[in-house]
Amino acid sequence: MKPAAFEYHAPASVQEAVGLLAELGEDAKAIAGGQSLVPMLALRLAVLDHLVDLRRLEELRGIEQRDGGVWIGAGTTQATIQRSAEVGRGVPLLARATPLIGHFQIRNRGTLGGSIAHADAAAEYPAVALALDARLEATSPRGARTIAARDFFQGMWSTALQADELLTGVLFPQWGPRSGFAIEEFARRGGDFAIAGAAVAVQLDTDDRIARCGIGLFGLGQAALRATTTETQLTGSAADVPAGDVGDSAMAELDSVPSDLHGSADYRKHVGAAMVARAWERAVQEAGVQEASNA
């Protein structure tokens, strides 16, 4: 199939882009790499009157140290993130998640902001943003605002962005010493969306107790989720808590798990528990290894 007819716009600045979004309203959609939106348009799962292309906006691209974290422009491609030594050092969880996204052709065009703003429940980046307490920057004709990742993802392909707002960048906090990170997912084939997955961050204190942790879940709901109750229960406890118990606890928080041709709800929860357990075990081990190497 082919997309329905639409009017194409190529703004030269962020202010021009948000001005167009404000003027055109719900009939317009911004496009970055197009790796999610273009297939939806081709299948007519999405129909719109105006397409606002962001590819000319250099101000949306870049990776830099900022405000105690690593800031990444929303238009930065996934391939650039994958190659970045800055991301590898400062946001290892994001670096490890990136090779799991599709295939290299997709990562060459797909962008950080496109993936997060699209908010697919099975995508890796939203879960990473949740686990790390990322802060998302949005701009509109009214000005700029920051949205916490925990408040951003609202449902299937639904976010806190207003119709005239554009995601311009994401700030990922750096967790500091004695931190460990891991991401695990299960997919039928390499490059497929995950049936279930987990992104985990853990930081230990000097007594080998869990100072803080983040558990992001994907493929297990209508949007990326965070196992906040499990995180609260784990904080302050000994780091040797059984990983299987962590996985079971995270799954017990889920009110509704999707069921489709790829797997029933029970199957997804079973796989999800295993992914959380594996990621938790690896993250805790890394946090301990880092401490030993710094001794």
Report the distance separating Cα 218 and Cα 137, nearest Å.
Answer: 22
77 and 133 in one domain?
yes
User: Could you report the per-residue pLDDT of 199-222, keeping only the tens digit for each?
Assistant: 999 999 999 999 999 999 999 999
* CATH assignment of the domain containing 269: 3.30.390.50
**Residue span of the structural domain in which 208 resides:** 179-294
Is the pTM value of this prediction over 0.85?
yes
127 and 193 in one domain?
no
Report the distance separating Cα 290 and Cα 206, nearest Å.
Answer: 12
Lowest mean pLDDT among 41-45, 82-86, 286-290: 41-45
Sorted by sequence, the CB contacts under 8 Å of residue 230 that are 6+ apart come out as: 215, 246, 249, 250, 253
Report the number of distinct structural domains present in the chain. Answer: 3
DSSP state of 191: T
Sign, Cα dihedral of 218, 224, 225, 226: positive
Q: Which residue has the tokens 């999707």?
A: 258
Q: Which residue has the tokens 């007594």?
A: 207
Structure token pair of residue 143: 């000005």
User: Could you report the per-residue pLDDT of 37-76, keeping only the tens digit for each?
Assistant: 777 777 676 778 899 999 999 999 999 999 999 999 999 9
Q: Is 200 a domain residue?
A: yes
